Chain A
């Protein structure tokens, strides 16, 4: 059974950009694409730059996949799977996320 956690309200998100939330002691980068009414959640840690910065990257799409580009060295990470497009052996944690009644919810692994 999936456990959803309320993180913040939609108003606190940045349209077409990211914010970082603290969820169960983990740093979660949350990205919001208002035109698609979509939210994505991945870990905020950039494994190439070794810093908690991914929420501050630019988002968009590459060949139809939603991605964020690291603000440090510009690697792309798939927002749904966490896979790095430049080096597929590197994957960062990706979490399920949704908007329910104006509230942003994330599901963390057990």
Chain B
């Protein structure tokens, strides 16, 4: 018998899921059995960043649901099943698939649908909308055979959709009914500036155009005819002309709806039925539909509070927005159109830099009412804080939008904000909440995000969050300790620079000049790695030997029983039968356990330290060289078979993989580096899960960076497209050099990039646009590494003195008696503790 009431949530979009997230972290969840319907075939995902789907993100990347969320919280979810009807008399919901559920409380989060103008021909083939992942898949399919795409609608979403069409390689047009782009947010001058910038990117903009008919085209599949008599041929028509609330299920059960749609709600988000709430884009509050997520999230919080019996109300939301549309910064704050009585307007236009800024201030010049920013939205955070918190403006408000001349500063430091100031609008996190979390010990951005959720939505407040954190930490007298260890009061990057600038060649010299004590297992390998990265000396030189981790000192990978595994390099995973036989013979002779690795090579396990030189003498004689599997260095360049054999291959992936592996082998780095090259977009080499991934396309190589597998897999980001080989290699040279020079110890490329201020865009500006003027140096450094490459194993077996170390005992030729193997599936493995005891008994007997 259940004493719990039933709470049904219709819709698992961004707001529906946010409601569940809020609900499960509130004690009130104990009162309810929770059931939710999700019409789409997948649970909630990030629609705000939908266009990321075209730059390589997958549906999984966009998901907003933690794995196991529904199971963990005992929530029943009906995925791919739409709630069809509400019977308010019996308080039941029936789904399309026939599920019938009684509810005590009902939350409608049905969202909205794209408005398609009723133009004749609007339902022709390849006339699409932009809302769900399925829509994107339809767009991708349509784009494969098309050349031209038109977006109907020049608002926020329309511009996003235009970016998607352009990313799909189509000649892209935007058709807007109003006389300017982003008519809701921008004034005429701002709209014109935006138009110029977007047209520079090759998108053709048509404003003041009224579509009257869509019909058969001559060169393209469709033709659009406009009221002014003009025509436009296109393969795809993408409607993005606004949204309409999905209120049909509410209409059907006679809940109050607005004259132009939307389920009417009060300040508690209750509909005209006291047991039914509505939240998000389906809800109409005070005559307004809010088409942004932040107000939807605010409604979700209100309902959770109301269910818990707490006083809460939704009283409207700020509609200010800041976006990067096709690389152009655009922001709109508050009363951008100066509709307030007596409002004064200041504007600044810089045709040269294509920047437009407009301020709307109150009659007494004390309050900021609104603003428009195009081309440079860096002032957004400051202006928004002025506007939302009613902070009194400086004497000359236009100083806020004029470029800084001289050393005057008009920025609003984090200290000027009141504790009530909202830092993160997605999750309604105030400065007070951030300060409290800092006092409770959250002293990094990561910890603050986890504790407060700030900056985990759209991410727009990240710079402000960081500024508040730094200022608060400074006030509390915290200094964030970034010292590598107790021996050096420096970061890895500092140490790299010291070694470079002062031309330091040994650990002892560095310690004497800049450190204290004797060093430890943190700083020694880090410095050893930097010295190797920069000078590329033989790592077993007497002065470097004590710095290396055990794997590096014996040039092999230590396993749990103290034996080692051996991995020769097999470039690109290509190996001849003779080489394979040679490898097999070595494995057989030394009775090694043999396994194929994920990086397309062979790992030979169970070698005692004294066997390593013998094994390597034979491998080198057979033509192998070190695979550096033991080092923080380039591991493998995985490849698919490519155009030489594959029916679908576009280019020679194996050839490029071998070339890249030979180029970068031996490079010491802050962490291991993995590459892959795929010969076509089917991506059989899984290049998008690697630090450096290369994919062949008809127009050249596409370069992906900063992906990895492992504990926290990360999909790589598309870095540059359609490259010739020379440019590709140049970019990789620079990328790797920059990583080696600036990353923290044991920091993979993914974390390195994510922690970089400005992230991927910044990285592109350094590597592609040479923003720091470093590229020549970075390339020279890489050339030095390539020119000084040597096989460490070859150097070692040629040096009698080095070979002496490869004995278990310095004073005896006995092997370590603890190393005992048993047989399993026809090969050896280390004996476990029980087996070892048994073995010893047998031997004694």
Is B382 part of the binding interface, using a Cβ–Cβ cutoff of 8 Å? no
Complex: how many Å from CA A66 to CA B811? 25
B525 touches A58 (CB 8 A): yes
Q: Which of B518, B561, B805, B812 has the most CB of A within 10 A?
A: B518
Task: Count contacts on B: residues with CB < 8 A to the other chain.
Answer: 35
Task: Mark A62-103 against chain B: 1 for CB-CB distance below 8 A, else 0.
Answer: 111011010110100000000000000000000000000000
B518 touches A61 (CB 8 A): yes
Is B121 part of the binding interface, using a Cβ–Cβ cutoff of 8 Å? no
A21 touches B518 (CB 8 A): no
B517 touches A50 (CB 8 A): no
B550 touches A71 (CB 8 A): yes
Q: Determine the chain B residues whose CB is within 8 A of the CB of A12 once the complex forms.
A: 804, 810
The stretch of B470-478, B541-549, B724-732 in contact with A is B541-549
Closest to A66 in B: B518
Closest chain A CB from B632 CB (angstroms): 14
Complex: how many Å from CA A49 to CA B563? 12
Q: Determine the chain A residues whose CB is within 8 A of the CB of B525 once the complex forms.
A: 58
Complex: how many Å from CA A30 to CA B562? 17
Is B553 part of the binding interface, using a Cβ–Cβ cutoff of 8 Å? yes
Closest to B804 in A: A12
Task: Mark B794-820 against chain A: 1 for CB-CB distance below 8 A, else 0.
Answer: 000000000011001111101010100
Q: Determine the chain B residues whose CB is within 8 A of the CB of A66 once the complex forms.
A: 518
Q: Which of A13, A27, A51, A52 has the most CB of B within 10 A?
A: A51
Q: Determine the chain A residues whose CB is within 8 A of the CB of B814 once the complex forms.
A: 22
Is B521 part of the binding interface, using a Cβ–Cβ cutoff of 8 Å? yes
Residue of A20, A45, A57, A71 touching B808 (CB-CB under 8 A): A20
A53 touches B562 (CB 8 A): yes
Closest chain A CB from B515 CB (angstroms): 11
**Chain A contacts with B in 1-47, Cβ cutoff 8 A:** 7-8, 12-17, 19-22, 27, 30, 33, 35, 45
Closest to A19 in B: B810
B517 touches A51 (CB 8 A): no
Residue of A17, A27, A50, A53 touching B546 (CB-CB under 8 A): A17
Given A50-B833, A52-B562, A52-B816, A17 and B520 contact (CB-CB distance below 8 Å): no
Q: Determine the chain A residues whose CB is within 8 A of the CB of B521 once the complex forms.
A: 57-58, 60, 69, 74
Complex: how many Å from CA A61 to CA B519? 6
A8 touches B562 (CB 8 A): no
Q: Determine the chain A residues whose CB is within 8 A of the CB of B542 once the complex forms.
A: 15
Is B558 part of the binding interface, using a Cβ–Cβ cutoff of 8 Å? yes
Closest chain B CB from A34 CB (angstroms): 10
B809 touches A21 (CB 8 A): yes
Closest chain B CB from A83 CB (angstroms): 17
Is B37 part of the binding interface, using a Cβ–Cβ cutoff of 8 Å? no
B810 touches A57 (CB 8 A): no
A8 touches B810 (CB 8 A): yes
Is B524 part of the binding interface, using a Cβ–Cβ cutoff of 8 Å? yes
A14 touches B816 (CB 8 A): no
Residue of B486, B545, B812, B833 touching A17 (CB-CB under 8 A): B545
Q: Determine the chain A residues whose CB is within 8 A of the CB of B804 once the complex forms.
A: 12
Is B560 part of the binding interface, using a Cβ–Cβ cutoff of 8 Å? yes
Q: Determine the chain B residues whose CB is within 8 A of the CB of A16 once the complex forms.
A: 545-546
Is B554 part of the binding interface, using a Cβ–Cβ cutoff of 8 Å? yes
Given A20-B808, A52-B816, A67-B520, A58 and B562 contact (CB-CB distance below 8 Å): no
Given A14-B545, A17-B546, A21-B810, A60 and B554 contact (CB-CB distance below 8 Å): no
B524 touches A58 (CB 8 A): yes
Complex: how many Å from CA A22 to CA B815? 10
Complex: how many Å from CA A60 to CA B526? 14
Tell me how many residue pairs across A and B have CB atoms closer than 8 Å.
Answer: 94
**Chain B contacts with A in 204-249, Cβ cutoff 8 A:** none
A72 touches B558 (CB 8 A): yes
Complex: how many Å from CA A19 to CA B804? 11
Complex: how many Å from CA A60 to CA B549? 13
Closest to A68 in B: B521
Residue of A14, A50, A51, A60 touching B520 (CB-CB under 8 A): A60
B546 touches A56 (CB 8 A): no
Complex: how many Å from CA A71 to CA B548? 11
**Secondary structure at chain A's binding surface: helix, strand, loop or mixed?**
strand
Residue of B518, B520, B809 touching A69 (CB-CB under 8 A): B520
Complex: how many Å from CA A22 to CA B816? 10
Closest to B836 in A: A50
B812 touches A51 (CB 8 A): no
Complex: how many Å from CA A45 to CA B808? 13
Closest chain A CB from B704 CB (angstroms): 33
Closest chain B CB from A67 CB (angstroms): 7
Closest chain B CB from A66 CB (angstroms): 7
A62 touches B545 (CB 8 A): no
Residue of B520, B545, B558 touching A61 (CB-CB under 8 A): B520
B517 touches A64 (CB 8 A): yes
Q: Determine the chain A residues whose CB is within 8 A of the CB of B520 once the complex forms.
A: 58, 60-62, 67, 69
Closest chain B CB from A48 CB (angstroms): 11
B518 touches A53 (CB 8 A): no
Closest to B548 in A: A58
A62 touches B486 (CB 8 A): yes
Closest chain B CB from A110 CB (angstroms): 21
Q: Determine the chain B residues whose CB is within 8 A of the CB of A49 once the complex forms.
A: 560, 562
B560 touches A51 (CB 8 A): yes
Q: Determine the chain B residues whose CB is within 8 A of the CB of A13 once the complex forms.
A: 810
**Chain B contacts with A in 561-593, Cβ cutoff 8 A:** 561-562
Closest chain A CB from B161 CB (angstroms): 52
Q: Determine the chain B residues whose CB is within 8 A of the CB of A56 once the complex forms.
A: 550, 553-554, 558
Q: Determine the chain A residues whose CB is within 8 A of the CB of B810 once the complex forms.
A: 7-8, 12-13, 19-21, 30
Complex: how many Å from CA A15 to CA B567? 28
Q: Determine the chain A residues whose CB is within 8 A of the CB of B818 once the complex forms.
A: 45, 51-52
Complex: how many Å from CA A63 to CA B521? 14
Task: Mark B503-519 against chain A: 1 for CB-CB distance below 8 A, else 0.
Answer: 00000100000000111
Given A15-B542, A64-B517, A22 and B812 contact (CB-CB distance below 8 Å): yes
Q: Determine the chain B residues whose CB is within 8 A of the CB of A17 once the complex forms.
A: 545-546, 553
Closest chain A CB from B21 CB (angstroms): 37
Given A20-B810, A51-B562, A52-B562, A61 and B553 contact (CB-CB distance below 8 Å): no
Closest chain B CB from A12 CB (angstroms): 5
Complex: how many Å from CA A12 to CA B812? 13
B560 touches A72 (CB 8 A): yes
Q: Determine the chain A residues whose CB is within 8 A of the CB of B561 once the complex forms.
A: 51
Q: Determine the chain A residues whose CB is within 8 A of the CB of B553 once the complex forms.
A: 17, 56
Closest chain A CB from B426 CB (angstroms): 40
Closest chain A CB from B551 CB (angstroms): 8
A59 touches B550 (CB 8 A): no
Complex: how many Å from CA A108 to CA B550? 27
B550 touches A8 (CB 8 A): no
Complex: how many Å from CA A55 to CA B550? 10
Q: Determine the chain B residues whose CB is within 8 A of the CB of A33 once the complex forms.
A: 518
Q: Beyond the given A30-B810, A57-B550, please list 13 additional residue pairs across the A-B interface where CB-CB is below 8 A.
A: A7-B810, A12-B804, A14-B546, A16-B546, A17-B546, A17-B553, A27-B816, A35-B508, A53-B562, A56-B553, A56-B558, A58-B524, A61-B520
A-B pairs, top 3 by smallest CB distance, nearest first, are A16-B546, A71-B550, A60-B520
Q: Can you pick out 21 interface pairs between chain A and chain B where the beta carbons lie within 8 Å of each other?
A: A8-B811, A14-B545, A14-B805, A15-B546, A19-B810, A21-B809, A45-B818, A51-B560, A52-B808, A52-B818, A56-B550, A56-B553, A56-B558, A58-B548, A59-B518, A59-B546, A60-B517, A60-B519, A62-B486, A71-B550, A74-B521
